């Protein structure tokens, strides 16, 4: 999937969407070998930087999201939409694609 490049200063997710800043991928293996760019896997950990208002219930109320800004999260490998703002990489996810909050 191609990354979307935006030249804006603010991104506000809608509904139950979460905007996550992608953590840097590993530069070398546990054995000390350096990985070329083609061998690096897409990271699955990032920090939540923006939240939507929450999922709308049948009665019209909003269901609060379980994550908050600043949480470090683990998300599904092929989930979301890759977004590039300047030199930083982000992913826009649905809350259901977040697997865990990591410490």
Highest mean pLDDT among 6-10, 26-30, 77-81: 77-81
Reported as a single tens digit per residue, the pLDDT across 46-101 is 999 999 999 899 998 999 999 999 999 999 988 899 988 888 889 999 999 999 99
Distance CA 48, CA 69 (A): 5
Distance CA 25, CA 42 (A): 7
Cα angle at 21 between 19 and 25, to 5 degrees? 140
Residues in the chain: 103
> In the prediction, which pLDDT does 85 show?
86
> In the prediction, which pLDDT does 7 show?
66
With beta carbons less than 8 A apart as the criterion, state whether 50 and 11 touch: yes
- Kindly tell me if the per-residue pLDDT of 1 is higher than 60: no
The domains found in the chain, sorted by start residue, are 17-101 (2.30.33.40)
Q: Which two tokens stand for residue 19?
A: 């905007």
> In the prediction, which pLDDT does 23 show?
83
Chain-centre distance of CA 68, in angstroms?
A: 13
- Kindly tell me if the per-residue pLDDT of 41 is higher than 70: no
With beta carbons less than 8 A apart as the criterion, state whether 94 and 85 touch: no
> In the prediction, which pLDDT does 49 show?
94
């Amino acid at each position: 999937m191609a990354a979307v490049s935006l030249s804006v200063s603010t991104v506000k997710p809608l509904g139950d969407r979460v905007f996550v800043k992608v953590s840097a991928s590993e530069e070398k293996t546990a054995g000390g070998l350096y990985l070329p760019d083609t061998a690096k896997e897409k990271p699955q950990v990032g920090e939540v930087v923006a939240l939507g208002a929450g999922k709308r219930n049948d009665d019209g109320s909003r269901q609060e999201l379980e994550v908050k800004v600043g949480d470090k999260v683990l998300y599904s490998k092929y989930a979301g939409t890759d977004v590039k703002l300047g030199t930083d990489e982000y992913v826009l996810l649905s809350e259901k694609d977040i697997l865990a909050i990591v410490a």
